[in-house]
Structure formats: C-alpha cells, structure tokens
Amino acid sequence: EVQLVQSGAEVKKPGESLKISCQGFGYSFTNYWIAWVRQMPGKGLEWLGIIYPGDSGATYSPSFRGQVTISVDKSINTAYLRWTSLKASDTAIYYCARPRGSSTNCYDFWGQGTLVTVSS
C-alpha cells in the first residue's frame, strides 16, 4: 500500500529555521516525483514545487522560489521542505503528494499534512 507519512506539527518563532519531512512507503520512491502543497488557514491549495528523487532535480513555483528549499534523501525514501527564516505568514498546513505514474501534475497519494505554526 502506497503511503506518504509526514513529520509532526511544529511551533516555531519568526526567524527560526525548519525542515519538515515526507517519507514514502510501498512503492519505488526514486521513480515518482514528490510535490509540496501549502494550505494557509481557511484558504485554498497552493503549489510550492516538486522534486524527482531519482536525480534530486526540483522545480519551484515562482511565488515560492527562494522562500523554501525542496530536497530528498533517497537512501531513506524521504523528501524535505526547508525554511531558513520563518515568517508568521508561513503558518499553514503543508502536504506532500505523489503524482500518478510519470506525470508531475495530478496527485493521487497525499501525506496527512504537517501543521506549521509561526508565532512570537
């Protein structure tokens, strides 16, 4: 059974750094892209970017390029989303998602979400 298991909720202060994770189970991790999607409180879905674990190649939304870094450690089937200096506006639920087959754009498996709260 395909599963994406994300790391637990985080509470951070503005200016702090953070890395959250998404571990894949039940499939060949290096053969499928992993995307990250943000959902701010009470708001819609926003696409941050996507990475291919096979070669660590990543593409970012123009809105998020430079704001976050997506990486992967294929030895432990895990993708990461990292911030170097959090802002209050980064408060959101962050989902990782795996696309169907070789596509990069439609996601049929999702993690449970990681709630990130940034508050002084």
Specify the residue, 44 or 120, whose C-beta has the smaller distance to other proteins.
44
When the beta carbons of 44 and 75 are compared against other proteins, the nearer one is 44
Residue from 22, 35, 58, 81 in contact with other proteins (CB under 8 A): 35
Cα–Cα nearest to 36, from 61, 16, 8, 13: 61
Query: Does 55 engage in binding with other proteins (CB under 8 A)?
Result: no
Question: By CB under 8 A, is residue 10 in contact with other proteins?
Answer: no
CB of 15 to other proteins, least distance (A): 28
Out of 27, 46, 74, 117, the residue judged to bind other proteins by CB under 8 A: 46
Contact call for residue 30 and other proteins (CB under 8 A): no
